Amino acid sequence: MILILGVTASGKGRLAFDLAESVGGLRLSSAKRPEIISIDSMKVYRRMDIGTAKPPKQARQSIKHHLIDIVEPSESFSVAAFLELADKAIEQIKSRDKPVIAVGGTALYIKALLSGLFKGPGTDEQIRAELKAQAKTEGLRNLYDRLAGIDPVAAQRISSNDAKRIIRALEVYRITGQPISSFQKQWEQDGRQMTEDRRRKRHEWTIIGLRREKTEENKRINARVKRMFERGLVDEVKSLLAEEKPLSPQAGCAIGYAEVIDYLNGRCDIEEAIELIKKNTRRFAKSQRTWFKTFPNVHWLDIEPEEPPEKILDRAKALISESNL
């Protein structure tokens, strides 16, 4: 079982597909090809294709992908739902005697897949409703700045567009008087202290991380944003907004979609929207790097700026062979 992680636009999706096509240096028959599990909180949404950088349809027809296009954009989706579906997919793939390749960049989902769910404080609907109202009247940015003041660690990990997680972090602070990052730290400690019996209940992974220089990563992010607009991101958002059911808050705050919605509503011009997407994506990548530093047992591959996919694949396969010796 192989898990590939990395920040957005790092090339992890391409590596997952290449590995699935060629494992151990041998081309596999379709009957024995690995299947891929997506670990992405936005690729789960149907018809949100361009802005989430889903694998091309041709790739998904060639290699079976799981947890892509499974919910409507009007619906909410949670880490608990992801974990349940991911575990089922893993068991189904194993029952077919096929290898499993998981790939993604949603750090909270990866954490849950590796260690189980974070059992944090309960909820308070009154506080949550109050915070949602404040987000509408004061603006989400004010709530994010408030979070940065009381819990800078959590603010580093959370996108300034992610209303759901910002409100949840502030809710936890209001309920307990403690930052949510302190509970997450306890979760990490509990995970390290699990007994071997409990450890066996989760899956055993060979974890590969793709790492690029920050300047190179920013260059790739900018190029991806440009491609998204060339491929019709604005028209995709228009189509979603025209649907009978409105976008869920979770889908509507996705990077790329939130900024285009602001443009379509006249809150910014197209150039400002493009630059905001680049900026917010860079900030998201920074939060991913912060999360990934806490993950144990990751075999990191430092990728050169112009390194071809074929060489990255060869290095990944060599690393997998070494880790399984």
Is pLDDT larger for residue 22 or for residue 247? Answer: 247
For the chain, what are the domain ranges? Answer: 2-116+202-323, 125-188
Mean pLDDT of 210-225: 96
Look up the pTM and report it: 0.80
Angle value at C-alpha 293, between 288 and 299, nearest 5 degrees: 105
Q: Is 125-188 a CATH 1.10.20.140 domain?
A: yes
Domains 2-116+202-323 and 125-188 share a fold: no
- The predicted structure's pLDDT at residue 246: 95
How confident is the model over 176-185, as pLDDT tens digits?
A: 888 888 876 6
Check pLDDT > 60 for residue 192: no
The token pair at 269 is 């011009």
Is pLDDT larger for residue 184 or for residue 18? Answer: 18
Check pLDDT > 70 for residue 270: yes
Residues 6+ apart with CB under 8 A from 303: 10, 11, 210, 211, 212, 312
Is pLDDT larger for residue 118 or for residue 194? Answer: 118
Question: If you average pLDDT over every residue of the chain, what do you get?
Answer: 89
Angle value at C-alpha 264, between 261 and 266, nearest 5 degrees: 110
Give whichever of 90-99, 130-139, 190-199, 244-253 has the largest mean pLDDT: 90-99
Rg, the chain, Cα only: 20
How confident is the model over 271-282, as pLDDT tens digits?
A: 999 999 999 999
Comparing CA positions, the residue from 185, 126, 133 lying closest to residue 163 is 133
- For the ranges 21-35, 230-244, 286-300, the lowest mean pLDDT is seen at 21-35
- The predicted structure's pLDDT at residue 119: 63
Q: Which amino acid is at 36?
A: I
* Cα end-to-end span (Å), the chain: 14
- The predicted structure's pLDDT at residue 116: 85
Q: Which CATH class is domain 2-116+202-323?
A: alpha beta
Q: How far is Cα 174 from Cα 186, in angstroms, rounded to an integer?
A: 19
Check pLDDT > 70 for residue 191: no
Residues in the chain: 325
The DSSP element (H or E) to which 206 belongs, if any, is strand 206-211
